A = this chain, B = another copy of it.
Amino acid sequence: MPAKDALTERYQDLLSVYLKAKTETTLYKGQQFSRKLLEQQISPEDLVSLHIQVMDELFPDMSEEMRDSFDFLLEAMIGYGFAYREHQSLRDKQQ
């Protein structure tokens, strides 16, 4: 098995801690994490993809319908990926 991507591992840790603690502080870690993703130019559909990977890991018995619904969310987020890349390009032009 290849070494797990560091971001996926970090997201899985944060989500697992949140699911156990369910506090505002552990929830807020999610928002802080997204700043790190943005710094690394990870697109919104990549975040959804990362979430799905972690859900597969944490909930291996997830029903097929639940699993499939994530694919639909991922597809719907693709349009936002286009907008996000356009944003990066506009920002680069202004710099």
Contact, CB under 8 Å: A87 / B79:
no
* Chain B residue nearest in CB terms to A32: B79
Nearest B-chain residue to A74, judged by Cβ: B30
Q: Mark A32-71, 1 if CB is under 8 A from B, else 0.
A: 0111011000001001100100010011001001101101
Copies in the complex: 2
- Which of B11, B37, B55 is in CB contact (< 8 Å) with A79? B37
A residues apposed to B, CB below 8 Å: 11, 14-15, 18-19, 22, 27-28, 30-31, 33-35, 37-38, 44, 47-48, 51, 55, 58-59, 62, 65-66, 68-69, 71-73, 75-80, 83-84, 86-87, 90-91, 94
